[in-house]
């Protein structure tokens, strides 16, 4: 059996997944051939399978080096559900437990062992590793070797000792951090000069980006957003300060939501317990400073909200990236104001000592502000920042879903810039707005600014609108903010072309309230059509999880339950076809869930189920590809094909259009189904073609035979 075939069999049987994603197959082959590799893939794209599958293919143990206990525990918990022989060694274990694991290691009874970097370098463990065959060192979160990154860990650099001691063992470095400096550091410190690098696109198509500037009541808008779109979901709300975290968490709780705070100022026990609850529960909001996040593997975080501007696009990307790791639709919502820019600058001034570094940080902040005030597709702007080009606007961000209104703001911009100039380039936005609007307050009169020619020239523009104009002028770098002088504005050289009228300026119109674009399939919408059955399945999952003391997603991921609710398998074999149902989970939970589905069939079928399939079918008819439908609706490709298969079964869609098969291939597959001993099952047919046709294609052909429904 070829290695790839063996790996695929493991993928199906143990993990219950149909296909490798993107680069996974190539990486797995490389690793199984015991060659070094460097993997850079965004969060949620499936890095861990790149060493977990080889661990089951190769002889010997795979040592996974991971920086955080929470991360290790999470993976061990998930793998244990699949009957994989796995353990982790860390300081939270007592001596006896450690000894037991060391024994298992020596007896070659482990496929994977998770360890912290400082632990793997102890003479004791090094000695043990010498006495047992090691298949691979997988170095997770490899960006921790880089001093440039935010997660620098000196122990990671010492891993070179491990490499020198075991030169024959291959290495796999994995990270979601893409920048060039970090990459060079990884290659240098982990000696990967000759390793093949696998770099994936950084796009996270299932995340919908929404940014709101200068909302008059951000908290209220956040609440409305959660109620409307994520009332049954888990999410993270990020705030800049601890105080704000406490306030917002308390306020959301008062409003009847299940919200807890998390920041470095809380007692360690409380922090731990809050984090634990967040992991375990299905429906919880964590209000946190950015101290919270790394090591959070929760796949079903459905939204990440920012109540302040992050300090760089890197931060924004990383923090929003914690949403939707399972690939289902998720939202990144942000509200910010100019005060955030000033606060961040003040923090930089007090914490960053070198001038050069401060300059770098300020440029990063400027780019973030640019993204936040942009009228273009957010995803295109975001990816461009990381050097990636997205050819078309994404169709899944606020600007794409609802083109921002713009207006010719050239004259107003000239007035704003002149106002900065005439008043001496040292006042903040509020003061400048007052001059423009002709508010003759004490301070203005004392400074004699009520005598300026442009005093009151902008009366017909509201204050919030002026604020928006100033914010955009700052985002476009025509104005600079001075944090020392409490946000005093000064002119940038580049503003001359505006002042001289050489350039027309279109700005975004100010919107007083956050309008959430109507996105057909927010997760609420998605779940609504599955309604009763989805709730029933989820409830059972919760029950099973709490019996075992594990998070719900350890039993089944949302993605799996959603497929289950949609496809309603009638037999164990059909259940096994769902993504995320491997042999072990089928044995453990298959009957329990089949029974629930069976019972549900006896209640009247909710018409909404077909409504969802119908939506996909209509989109397909409107010439969208199945990939586009999956991205727009936040569904897995498997689910979209299951919908399209229904269209094929009902005769609404042509098999050939859906699958792209030529007549000969079609005939070949049909023959295989007809000769199959179990025509209701896809796997035997899939296997007989040795993977030449995807499950999705086979499912559609099967549907055309009228055997699916």
Give the residues lining the site for Zn ion (CB under 5 A).
377, 379, 393-394, 397, 400
Q: Which does 46 bind (CB under 5 to 8 A by kind): ligand ADP, Zn ion, none?
A: ligand ADP
In the complex with ligand ADP, the residue whose CB is nearer, 553 or 673, is 553
Q: Which of 20, 51, 202, 478 binds ligand ADP (CB under 6 A)?
A: 20
Written as six digits, the tokens of 488 are 């005093």
Cβ burial of 377 (10 Å; 0-12, 13-18, 19+) is buried
Could you say which of 23, 30, 45, 523 contacts ligand ADP (CB under 6 A)?
Answer: 45
Nearest distance, CB of residue 76 and ligand ADP, angstroms: 13
Q: Which is nearer to Zn ion, 399 or 523 (CB)?
A: 399
| Region of 43-51, 60-68, 154-162, 594-602 interacting with ligand ADP (CB under 6 A) | 43-51
Interaction between residue 234 and ligand ADP (CB under 6 A): no
Strand-strand pairing, 406-408 and 506-508: antiparallel
**Shortest Cβ distance from residue 553 to ligand ADP (Å)?**
8
Token representation of residue 173: 């470095």
Cα(369)–Cα(373) distance, integer angstroms: 6
Q: Which residue has the tokens 């004699």?
A: 448
Give the CA radius of gyration of the chain. Answer: 28
Token couple for 500: 């001289």
Of 38-46, 85-93, 364-372, 674-682, which segment contacts ligand ADP by CB under 6 A?
Answer: 38-46
Q: Which does 394 bind (CB under 5 to 8 A by kind): Zn ion, ligand ADP, none?
A: Zn ion
Residue 246's contacts (CB-CB under 8 Å, 6 or more residues apart) are 261, 263
* Among positions 41, 249, 286, 330, the unique one binding ligand ADP when judged by CB under 6 A: 41
Question: Please, which residue, 576 or 629, has the CB nearer to Zn ion?
Answer: 629
- 326's contact among ligand ADP, Zn ion, none, with CB below 5 to 8 A by partner kind, is ligand ADP
Name, in order, each residue with C-beta under 8 angstroms of 241's C-beta and a sequence gap of 6 or more: 289
Q: How far is the CB of 93 from ligand ADP (least distance, A)?
A: 23
- Which candidate, 372, 382, 389, 385, places its Cα nearest to that of 210? 372
Among 12, 17, 293, 444, binds ligand ADP (CB under 6 A): 17
Q: Which residue is nearest to ligand ADP (CB)?
A: 46
Q: Which does 325 bind (CB under 5 to 8 A by kind): Zn ion, ligand ADP, none?
A: ligand ADP
Q: In the complex with Zn ion, which residue's Cβ is closer, 374 or 636?
A: 374
Separation of alpha carbons 30 and 22, rounded Å: 14
Residues within window 545-574 making contact with ligand ADP, judged by CB under 6 A: 557
The alpha carbon of 446 is separated from its chain's Cα centroid by a whole number of angstroms, namely 52
Strand order across the beta sheet in which 301-306 lies: 207-213, 330-336, 301-306, 234-238, 285-288, 259-262
Partner residues linked to 171 by β-bridges: 137
- Tell me which residues in 285-324 interact with ligand ADP (CB under 6 A): 299
Contact window for ligand ADP (CB under 6 A) among 16-24, 198-206, 424-432, 698-706? 16-24
CA 572 to chain centre: 32
Binding mask 571-590 toward ligand ADP (x if CB under 6 A, else -) reads: --------x-----------
What string of DSSP letters covers 259-302?
EEEE-TTS-HHHHHHHHHHHHH-SS-EEEE-TTSBTB---TTEE
Structure-token match 């003391």, residue found: 549
Which residues face 491 on adjacent strands?
A: 479
Report in angstroms how near the CB of residue 45 gets to ligand ADP at its nearest: 5
CA 488 to chain centre: 36
Q: Which of 12, 212, 325, 541 is the binder for ligand ADP (CB under 6 A)? A: 325
Residue (31 or 382) nearer to Zn ion, CB: 382
* Distance between CA atoms of residues 435 and 456, nearest Å: 6
Nearer residue to Zn ion within complex by CB, 110 or 377: 377
Name which of 379 and 541 has its Cβ closer to Zn ion: 379
Site for ligand ADP in 46-105 (CB under 6 A): 46-49
Q: Which residues bind ligand ADP (CB under 6 A)?
A: 17, 19-21, 24, 41, 43-49, 299, 325-326, 557, 579
């Amino acid at each position: 059996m070829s290695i790839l075939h063996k790996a695929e069999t493991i993928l199906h049987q143990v993990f219950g997944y149909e296909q490798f994603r993107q680069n996974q197959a190539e990486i797995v082959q490389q690793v199984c051939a015991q060659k070094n590799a460097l993997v850079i893939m965004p969060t949620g794209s499936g890095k861990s399978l790149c060493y977990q599958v080889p661990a089951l293919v190769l002889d010997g143990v795979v040592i996974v080096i991971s920086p955080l206990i929470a991360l290790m525990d999470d993976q061990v918990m998930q793998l244990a559900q699949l009957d994989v022989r796995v353990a982790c060694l860390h300081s939270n274990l007592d001596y006896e437990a450690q000894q037991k694991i060391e024994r298992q290691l020596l007896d070659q009874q482990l496929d994977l062992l998770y360890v912290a970097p400082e632990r793997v370098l102890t003479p004791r463990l090094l000695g043990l590793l010498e006495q047992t065959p090691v298949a691979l060192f997988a170095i997770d979160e490899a960006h921790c070797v880089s001093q440039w990154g935010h997660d620098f860990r000196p122990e990671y650099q010492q891993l070179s000792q491990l490499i020198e001691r075991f030169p024959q063992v291959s290495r796999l470095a994995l990270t979601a951090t893409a920048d060039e400096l970090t990459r060079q550091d990884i290659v240098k410190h982990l000696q990967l000069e000759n390793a093949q690098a696998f770099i994936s696109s950084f796009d996270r198509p299932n995340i919908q980006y929404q940014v709101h500037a200068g909302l008059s009541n951000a908290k209220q808008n956040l609440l409305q957003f959660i109620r409307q779109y994520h009332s049954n979901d888990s999410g993270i709300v990020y705030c800049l300060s601890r105080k704000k975290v406490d306030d917002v968490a308390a306020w959301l709780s008062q409003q009847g939501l299940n919200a807890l705070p998390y920041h470095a100022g809380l007692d360690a026990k409380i922090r731990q317990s809050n984090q634990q609850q967040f992991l375990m529960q299905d429906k919880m909001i964590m209000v946190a400073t950015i101290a919270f996040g790394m090591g959070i593997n929760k796949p079903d975080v459905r939204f990440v909200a920012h109540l302040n501007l992050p300090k760089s696009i890197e931060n924004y990307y990383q923090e929003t990236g914690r949403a939707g790791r399972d690939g289902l639709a998720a939202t990144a919502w942000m509200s910010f104001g100019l005060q955030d820019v000033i606060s961040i600058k003040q923090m930089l001034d007090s914490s960053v000592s070198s001038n050069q570094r401060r300059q770098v940080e300020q440029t990063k902040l400027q780019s973030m502000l640019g993204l936040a005030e942009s009228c273009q597709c957010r995803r295109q702007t975001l990816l461009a920042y990381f050097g990636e080009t997205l050819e078309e606007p994404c169709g899944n961000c606020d600007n794409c879903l609802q083109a921002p209104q713009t207006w010719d703001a050239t004259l107003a911009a000239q007035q704003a810039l002149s106002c900065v100039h005439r008043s001496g380039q040292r006042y903040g936005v509020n003061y400048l707005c007052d001059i423009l609007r002709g508010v003759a307050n004490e301070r203005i009169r004392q400074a004699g600014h009520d005598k300026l020619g442009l005093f009151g020239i902008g009366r017909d523009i509201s204050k919030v609108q002026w604020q928006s104009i100033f914010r955009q002028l700052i985002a476009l770098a025509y104005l600079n903010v001075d944090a020392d002088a409490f946000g005093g504005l000064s002119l940038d050289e580049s503003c001359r072309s505006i002042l001289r009228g050489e350039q027309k300026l279109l700005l975004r119109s100010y919107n007083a309230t956050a309008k959430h674009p109507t996105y057909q399939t927010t997760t609420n919408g998605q779940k609504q059509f599955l309604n009763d059955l989805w709730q029933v399945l989820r409830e059972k999952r919760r029950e099973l999880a709490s019996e075992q003391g594990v998070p719900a997603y350890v039993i089944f991921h949302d993605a799996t339950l959603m497929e289950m609710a949609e496809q309603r398998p009638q037999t164990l074999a059909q259940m096994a076809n769902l993504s995320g149902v491997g042999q072990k989970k089928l044995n453990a939970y298959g009957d329990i869930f089949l029974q629930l589905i069976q019972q549900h069939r006896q209640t009247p079928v909710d018409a909404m189920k077909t409504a969802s399939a119908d939506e996909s079918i209509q989109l397909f008819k409107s010439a969208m590809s199945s990939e586009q439908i999956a991205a727009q609706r936040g569904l897995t490709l498997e689910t979209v094909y299951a919908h399209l298969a229904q269209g094929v079964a009902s005769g609404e869609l042509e098999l050939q259009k859906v699958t792209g098969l030529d007549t000969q291939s079609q005939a070949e597959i049909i023959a295989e189904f007809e000769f199959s001993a179990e025509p209701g099952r896809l796997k035997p047919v899939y296997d007989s073609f040795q993977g030449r046709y995807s499950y999705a294609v086979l499912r559609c052909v099967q549907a055309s035979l009228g055997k699916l429904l």
